[in-house]
Amino acid sequence: MTDRYPHLLAPLDLGFTKLRNRVLMGSMHTGLEDNPKHFHRLTAYFAERARGGVGLIVTGGFAPNIEGWAAPFSGRLTTHAAAARHRPITAAVHAEGGAIALQILHTGRYGYHPLAVAPSRIKSPISPFTPRALSSRGVERQIRGFVRCAQLAREAGYDGVEVMGSEGYFINQFLVTHTNRRTDEWGGSYQNRMRLPVEIVQRTREAVGRDFIIVYRLSMLDLVPDGSTWEEIVQLAKAIERAGASIINTGIGWHEARVPTIATSVPRAAFAWVTKKLKGEVGIPLCTTNRINAPDVAEQVLADGCADVVSMARPLLADADFVNKAAAGRADEINTCIACNQACLDHVFQRNIASCLVNPRAAFETEIVVRPAESRKRIAVVGAGPAGLACATTLAERGHRVELFESAGEIGGQFNMAKRVPGKEEFQETLRYFSRRIETTGVQLRLGTRATAADLIANSFDDVVVATGVTPRDPHIAGEDEQRGAGRVLSYVDVLLHGKPVGPRVAIVGAGGIGFDVAEFLVNEGHSTTLDPVAWMAEWGVTDPGTSRGGIANPVVTPPARRVYLLQRKPAPLGKGLGKTTGWIHRASLRMKRVEMIGGVNYERIDERGLHISFGETHAKPMVLEVDTVVFCSGQEPLRELADRLRAAGVAVHLIGGADVAAELDAKRAIEQGIRLATRL
Ligand code: NAP
Ligand code: SF4
């Protein structure tokens, strides 16, 4: 078994305990931590990942006291009674042969509540609350909170704790002068600033004994001004080792950093080099992280000597069976995390329960249950976009006989466009996953086949699932037909799927997710820095913390391939509706490429000069954008005539995905709807 991924699947001996492999499931807050009434779901969620072969699971963050809350009433572990409520979680993981550590997370000035505390009274840019500066007795109280939380974790049956010392949270705030202006023994010199994490680890070790895992998550690249130097990071790592930590995990970037660190446009394993710099400086195992989402990438990182352990959080939401599949030579069956954040982090930041776009069962294991079908039906699924693929393969997994009709020559629907956008290459993985799943579940795929109502009726299917998707909306701008004939007006499908030629000056009509994608596609002209890590680092101003504090440098941006205007009728800022945790990246990326974003426009007409626009109800400030091409990205309309005809003929029809509701269609809703329907038929 270890032949395939010899480094990744090798056990890790910590002396007092052995982890079965080098996969650490990184901490990912799901929201289930925040209410004990959800703990049975948390139990099922972790048990499934332990059954899937993970070496060491780290829970989402639990606060050591109320001041350390992420938000009012978020999860904390402060009493014996609370510890008892965790017992089913740890027992379930152990029953599956896994190990689990509780993450102790004190958010400091990132706390979204008025009780937040910090080394100094400095508000963070990502919370409206100004923290209270702690007295030295207050600092002592926080340390005691960490220690007691670790003791309670041990009492609850955990194999260890992870002390969250990175991402700009409480401990990290003590380390750098950016947030620590104290003049007492907790501030000033670096020796003083790093006293807090060292005291926490040392006193925790004394309290929990030698046979308990302590992972310390150390910020190795702050990506904020006045961040740590490399010398300071090494000094801290050595002190943390001496204080008794078992493993040092890597933290990359504070939450307030203006550099993407985990989004899909970040190159795979983009930060493993940072952990590698620390190799040899300490004797305890090092864990690396960020954008490692496939077993071959993880194996390579370990084989290259970057670390001893690999942390993956979102990839294990996407596929609980990741490790077992890799070990069994079935890596091509892994449902790969595409790093979209749409159902995990975006949900957490909206105070919803996290899940996963490509695996809606994540954190909903007790609710979405895929059972063998009671009777085997013949079911037609029409349309092999994300909704149809998810539905067809789940139906077949349950034992139904499924025929999947797709008029195009390939599966994927809208994903075939997304995968062509620079920075969205990961979307290809979902199509690879579904192709393989069609094979393993036995779905009969009919490509290049437009299923008609007559054919479907004649074939007497028990059920027909209509997942025929959407068609681009025509904005009906005066002059568009004439200019379309001249090749000056295109739809996003023409650009992304059919590769129609686009001139050097472009106006994009519509600034939703697809308008932003098309702009990204056009300004980069086929070059993706996601596939070119050196260029990516230069573009976002990431450098070696050995040469610049915090690892930040001046960005070096390559000029855009085209002059692009991105337009919408709403007066609101462009990109407001994009993902909560990724919208800023899309906006920053287009700003770097000097895309002009204009809101509040009326589209007056298109002619050979370009696109004529005006502003507001009075059609003020008329002007012409002199462009060679106008690209319509003005949303979609559902394609569902088939369903109407089938219904009229008395066929049992189910509408899913964009064919059901085109407005704000996204793959998250499409896949979830497809799978949920498939569990019911
Ligand atoms: P969308 O988000 O609904 O955006 C449509 C855009 O067209 C809006 O900017 C809208 O702005 C404009 N529009 C609507 N009707 C129009 C009309 N009659 N004439 C002119 N402009 C019109 O749709 P989308 O961009 O096609 O994206 C579809 C879905 O795909 C999104 O909801 C999103 O969930 C998903 N997606 C997401 C991402 C992502 O990065 N997360 C990327 C791609 C796609 P005004 O009405 O203000 O003009
Ligand atoms: Fe990965 Fe997206 Fe799923 Fe989050 S929602 S785990 S980023 S695929």
Taking the centre of ligand 1 as the mean of its atom positions, its distance from the CA of residue 474, in whole angstroms, is 12
pLDDT tens sequence across 371-430: 999 999 999 999 999 999 999 999 999 999 999 999 999 999 999 999 999 999 999 999
Q: Which atom of ligand 1 is nearest to the CA of 570?
A: 47
Taking the centre of ligand 2 as the mean of its atom positions, its distance from the CA of residue 292, in whole angstroms, is 13
* pLDDT score recorded for residue 660: 86
Residue from 5, 45, 110, 169 carrying the catalytic annotation: 169
Main-chain dihedrals φ then ψ at residue 617, nearest 5 degrees: -65, -30
* pLDDT score recorded for residue 661: 82
Q: Which two tokens stand for residue 618?
A: 């009075």
Percent of the chain with pLDDT over 70: 99
Identify which of 204, 209, 228, 207 has the alpha carbon closest to the alpha carbon of residue 218.
228
The answer to whether the CB of 476 is under 6 A from ligand 1 is no
The answer to whether the CB of 513 is under 6 A from ligand 1 is yes
Average pLDDT, the chain: 96
Query: How far apart are the C-alpha atoms of 105 and 90, rounded to whole Å?
Result: 19
* pLDDT score recorded for residue 671: 97
Closest protein CA for atom 36 of ligand 1: 513
pLDDT tens sequence across 431-443: 999 999 999 999 9
Report the pLDDT averaged over residues 121-139.
Answer: 96
pLDDT tens sequence across 248-260: 999 999 999 999 9
Query: How far apart are the C-alpha atoms of 315 and 306, rounded to whole Å?
Result: 19
Query: How far apart are the C-alpha atoms of 359 and 376, rounded to whole Å?
Result: 24
Q: Which two tokens stand for residue 188?
A: 């000033």
Residue 665 banded pLDDT, cuts 50, 70, 90: low
CB environment 30-64: b (16+ within 10 A), e (fewer): bbbbbeeebbebbbbbbbbbbbbbbbbbbbbbbbb
Checking phi first, is residue 525 left (phi over 0); if not, alpha (psi -120 to 50) or beta?
A: left
The answer to whether the CB of 580 is under 6 A from ligand 1 is no
Report the pLDDT averaged over residues 463-467.
Answer: 97
What 3 state SS string does 525-544 have?
CCCCHHHCHHHHHHHHCECC
* pLDDT score recorded for residue 663: 72
Does the structure show a pLDDT above 60 at 25?
Answer: yes
User: For residue 285, which amino acid is it?
Assistant: P
- Evaluate whether 580 touches 350 at the Cβ level (below 8 Å): yes
Q: Does 565 qualify as catalytic in the annotation?
A: no
Q: Which two tokens stand for residue 447?
A: 């490509």
Q: For a pocket test of ligand 2, which of 316, 342, 350 has the largest count of ligand atoms closer than 8 A to its C-beta?
A: 342
Q: Which two tokens stand for residue 271?
A: 């930060």
* pLDDT score recorded for residue 420: 96
Q: How far is CA 535 from CA 253, 531, 543, 558, 586, in A?
A: 19, 9, 11, 9, 17
- The ligand whose atoms approach the alpha carbon of 263 most closely is 2
Q: Residue 433 belongs to what H/E stretch?
A: helix 427-441
* pLDDT score recorded for residue 662: 76
Q: For a pocket test of ligand 1, which of 346, 420, 493, 514 has the largest count of ligand atoms closer than 8 A to its C-beta?
A: 514
Taking the centre of ligand 1 as the mean of its atom positions, its distance from the CA of residue 452, in whole angstroms, is 29
Closest protein CA for atom 1 of ligand 2: 337
Does the structure show a pLDDT above 70 at 1?
Answer: no
Does the structure show a pLDDT above 50 at 292?
Answer: yes
Count of residues making up the chain: 681
Q: How many CB atoms lie within 10 A of CB 6?
A: 12
Report the pLDDT averaged over residues 518-534.
Answer: 94
> What predicted TM-score, i.e. pTM, was given to this entire model?
0.96
* pLDDT score recorded for residue 69: 97
* pLDDT score recorded for residue 536: 97
- Evaluate whether 215 touches 246 at the Cβ level (below 8 Å): yes
Closest protein CA for atom 6 of ligand 2: 314
Report the pLDDT averaged over residues 341-360.
Answer: 95
* pLDDT score recorded for residue 526: 76
Taking the centre of ligand 2 as the mean of its atom positions, its distance from the CA of residue 468, in whole angstroms, is 24
Query: How far apart are the C-alpha atoms of 443 and 400, rounded to whole Å?
Result: 9
The answer to whether the CB of 634 is under 6 A from ligand 1 is yes
Closest protein CA for atom 3 of ligand 1: 635
The answer to whether the CB of 132 is under 6 A from ligand 1 is no
Report the pLDDT averaged over residues 625-640.
Answer: 95
The answer to whether the CB of 386 is under 6 A from ligand 1 is no
Q: Which atom of ligand 1 is nearest to the CA of 578?
A: 41
Report the pLDDT averaged over residues 312-332.
Answer: 98
Torsion of CA 75, 335, 670, 344, to 10 degrees: 20
Q: Helix, strand, or coil here: 77?
A: coil
Residue 152 banded pLDDT, cuts 50, 70, 90: very high
Report the pLDDT averaged over residues 87-106.
Answer: 98
Identify which of 186, 196, 245, 251 has the alpha carbon closest to the alpha carbon of residue 223.
251
Closest protein CA for atom 3 of ligand 2: 356
Report the pLDDT averaged over residues 29-54.
Answer: 97
* pLDDT score recorded for residue 2: 52
Residue 664 banded pLDDT, cuts 50, 70, 90: low
- The ligand whose atoms approach the alpha carbon of 346 most closely is 2
Identify which of 666, 636, 635, 48 has the alpha carbon closest to the alpha carbon of residue 338.
666
- One-character DSSP codes across 488-530: -EEEHHHHHTS-----SEEEEE--SHHHHHHHHHHHHTT--GG
- The ligand whose atoms approach the alpha carbon of 517 most closely is 1
The answer to whether the CB of 508 is under 6 A from ligand 1 is no
CA angle 399, 400, 405 (to 5 degrees): 135
Identify which of 603, 636, 617 has the alpha carbon closest to the alpha carbon of residue 474.
636
Does the structure show a pLDDT above 60 at 163?
Answer: yes
Report the pLDDT averaged over residues 5-12.
Answer: 98
Give the pocket of ligand 2 (CB within 6 Å). Answer: 314, 317-318, 337-344, 356-358
Q: Helix, strand, or coil here: 676?
A: helix
Does the structure show a pLDDT above 70 at 299?
Answer: yes
- The ligand whose atoms approach the alpha carbon of 316 most closely is 2
Taking the centre of ligand 1 as the mean of its atom positions, its distance from the CA of residue 578, in whole angstroms, is 10
